[in-house]
Chain A
C-alpha cells in the first residue's frame, strides 16, 4: 500500500498523540500496517502494567508546608564580612612582623606567592577605609554573579 504511516506514527497513534485523521481507516484496510499496529500494541500493553493508581498519602500537603523551608545560605553576606575583616585587619597589623612570620622557615619557592600576598597587604594599607569598602563591594558583586550563574546551570 502506498503512503503507509511509519512505525513511529503508528506508535504515536497508540500513545494518543495527534496523527493524521485518516490513520484509523488505513490501519483497518492495510494488512501490513494492521500487523505492525498489533505488535506495537502488545508492547504498549506490556509497558502499561507499570501504571499505578497510588495516591499521595493523607496529609501530604500539610507535612510539606510544615517543613522549615531552607532559605539559601547567605553566602554573599558571609563573604562580605570575611573580606571586610581581612582588609580591615591589614590596617591594624604591623606588616613587618607579619612578613617575618610568613617567611620564617619557608624556602624561596613560595616566595612569589608571599610577595603577592604582601603586595595585596601593602596596597590595602595605602587605599584607606573607603577604598577597602569599595573593593569588598566589588568582590561581593562578583561572587553574587557567579552564584547566580551556578544556579542557572543546575537546571532548576
Chain B
C-alpha cells in the first residue's frame, strides 16, 4: 500500500502541488492541499480500481479541495499572491514578468469556475483532453469548448482588466 502511495506521489505530486499553488498562491497552503489530497487517496486506496490509471481520480480529489479552498478564501486569493510578489525581485525584466503573472492570476480568479477548472488542469497540471474529461466528468466536446472559451475570456480579461499594461509580450 505504502509503495503504491509513494509511486503516486512521485508521478502526480508535483503537478498536484503546482495546481494547488496556482489556486492558493501560497506555498504552505499548497502543500496542505497536496497533503490532504494524498491522505484521501491513501484512505481510499482499497476502493480504487488498479486497472485504471489513477490520474483522473487523484486530480478530481485535488480539484475538489482547491474549489473548496477558493470558496472559503476568495478574498485572500484576489488580493494576495505570495509566490509571485514576495520572492526576490531580481532584474527588471524578471520583475515585469512577475507582475504580468500576478495579473494573469487575477484574471484566472475572475473566470467562472467551470472555465477556470478546465484551464488549470490543462495549463498547470498539463492533462490531456481525455484526462480532463474524466477528472471533471465532462463530455470531450465540452472540455474543448470550455478550454477555447476560457482562453478567450482570459485574454479579454487581461487586455481589458488593467489598462493594457501586459501588452508587450
Chain B residues near A16 (CB, 8 Å)?
Answer: 128
- Checking B13, B61, B108, B145 against A56 with a beta-carbon cut-off of 8 angstroms, the contacting residue is B13
Of the listed stretches A24-32, A47-55, A127-135, A136-144, name the one at the interface; the rest are far from the partner chain: A47-55
One of A17, A50, A151 near B120 (C-beta < 8 A):
A50
A8:B17 contact, CB within 8 angstroms: no
Number of A-B contacts (CB under 8 A): 106
10 interchain pairs (CB within 8 A)? A8-B141, A43-B148, A44-B151, A46-B104, A48-B123, A50-B124, A54-B14, A60-B17, A155-B60, A156-B57
Per-residue interface assignment for chain A, residues 73 to 93, with 1 indicating a CB less than 8 Å from any chain B CB and 0 otherwise: 000000000000000000000
Q: In the docked arrangement, what's the CA distance between A156 and B158, Å?
A: 35
List, in ascending order, chain B residues with CB within 8 A of A47's CB: 119, 122-123, 150-151, 154
Of chain B, the residue at the smallest CB distance from A48 is: B123
Range of interface residues on chain A? 35 or more
A108 contacts across to B, CB distance below 8 A: none
In this complex, what residue of B is CB-closest to A46?
Answer: B155
What is the CB-to-nearest-CB distance from A128 to chain B, in angstroms, rounded to a whole number? Answer: 39
Assembled-state Cα–Cα distance A43/B104 (Å):
12
